[in-house]
Amino acid sequence: MLTKTRLFTPGPTLLPEQIRLAMARDMIHHRTAAFAALMREVQAGLRLLFDSEDVVLPLASSGTGAMAAAACALFSPGEKVLVVEGGKFGERWTQICRAHGLLPVVLPVPWGEAVSPAAVAGALDQDPGISGVLIQHAETSTGVQHPVEAVAAVTRSRPVLLVVDGVSAVSITPCPMTRWGLDCLLTGSQKGLMLPPGLALIALSPRAWARAETLPARNFYFNLCAERKYCLGGQSAFTPPVSLIVGLAESLRLFGEAGLATVYRKQWALTALVRGGVKALGLDLFVKEHFAWGVTSILLPEGISSGPLLARAAERYGVIMAAGQDAFKERMVRIGHMGWLDYADLLAALHALAGSFRFCGGYCGGRNYLEQALDAYWTALDEGPPLPV
């Protein structure tokens, strides 16, 4: 009664009422004209969102399913791929590659830092046997955004496919496939798309499709070439998650009404708000430079651990944030700000952060941190992000 429960986790995220209502409608059958019409509408919206020249395939799985599907569809056992490993999700690429018999060559990046495109070029020059680069656009475990456009400038002139995990980036920060020259872009439903978990989306470039068509299918369920054929006919190979696709049509409609540039501008401004507030509190932002637009990571000082802080924030303020991962589990708090959130929600998150931090015995500064956060928000919203979107 006292508070609303608000999710500030880096997925799943809150759902707008329009999407919840759309998903509550009765079932439509997936081998009907009604479903084909739905798929046509969704494809048009997705092609814009991904900036894809070809279909964007829906898969019934979480985001990781699409990562596995990509590794399997584009590379053969024994083939070498370069994995940018700067956090938990980079490590997931390595694990997926190993599980499917690929030979991952790891390019380690310290947690909290972005990969250097020159280092990618260097690794590729050193080993001409490498035929792919696997990367996250936003590494959600650390809050870093890798410079994917610059990495694509390295791969697009070589016979090397660039596969981008955009689960916490698509619809949060621009990642135009065709304009940048990405070969595969994938995402999941429960982050920027404002949907429940369970739907993954994946698109391939023309040269990636050409590659996929030459390889024998090694996966019966996640067979992208087969899915593509069905998708072109407004269907899917197996029973699709129909309600999630209905919800997706609604979320794409919302993006269409607002315009993608406005969606990105808002995400940028929300990031400025959180970073401004955290700085005004005197707390330590984990990522200094290449920060993601959907999650902000805060390094806690000695003596304060995330567990009790997050518990207090949830109980007292109804604010659900996330801890760090692995070595940073206790030392980090992550505030997710993807999708269906606005500036007022994030003021509650900052207030809960400050109050819970003090409750746990921490000292943090100025009482006007909310005003400073708001100043940062409106300035960022008016100025817009530093790249054309």
Task: Kindly list the residues in this chain that would bind ligand PLP in the complex (CB under 6 A).
Answer: 11, 62-64, 89, 136, 138, 140, 165, 167-168, 188
Q: How far apart are alpha carbons 359 and 327 in whole angstroms?
A: 24
Minimum CB distance to ligand PLP smaller for 70 or for 138: 138
> Considering the complex, what minimum distance in angstroms separates the CB of residue 83 from ligand PLP?
13
> Considering the complex, what minimum distance in angstroms separates the CB of residue 57 from ligand PLP?
16
Minimum CB distance to ligand PLP smaller for 140 or for 271: 140
For the chain, how many helices (H) and strands (E)?
14, 15
CB 276 within 8 A of CB 378: no
Minimum CB distance to ligand PLP smaller for 188 or for 324: 188
Minimum CB distance to ligand PLP smaller for 79 or for 165: 165
Minimum CB distance to ligand PLP smaller for 50 or for 369: 50
Q: How far apart are alpha carbons 62 and 50 in whole angstroms?
A: 18
Minimum CB distance to ligand PLP smaller for 137 or for 265: 137
Q: Token digits for 360?
A: 């746990």
DSSP letters, 35-75, are HHHHHHHHHHHHHHHHT-SS-EEEEES-HHHHHHHHHHHH-
> Considering the complex, what minimum distance in angstroms separates the CB of residue 341 from ligand PLP?
16
Q: How many CB atoms lie within 10 A of CB 91?
A: 16
Q: Which residues pair with 295 in a beta bridge?
A: 336
> Considering the complex, what minimum distance in angstroms separates the CB of residue 149 from ligand PLP?
17
> Considering the complex, what minimum distance in angstroms separates the CB of residue 166 from ligand PLP?
8
**Strand segments (E) across 237-364:** 284-285, 295-299, 319-320, 322-323, 332-336
> Considering the complex, what minimum distance in angstroms separates the CB of residue 106 from ligand PLP?
17
Residue of this chain nearest to ligand PLP (CB atom):
63
> Considering the complex, what minimum distance in angstroms separates the CB of residue 192 from ligand PLP?
10
CB 85 within 8 A of CB 91: yes
Minimum CB distance to ligand PLP smaller for 63 or for 174: 63
Q: Cα 2 from chain centroid?
A: 32
> Considering the complex, what minimum distance in angstroms separates the CB of residue 316 from ligand PLP?
27
Minimum CB distance to ligand PLP smaller for 89 or for 293: 89
DSSP letters, 155-214, are HTTTT-EEEEE-TTTTTTS---HHHHT-SEEEEETTSTT---S-EEEEEE-HHHHHHHHH
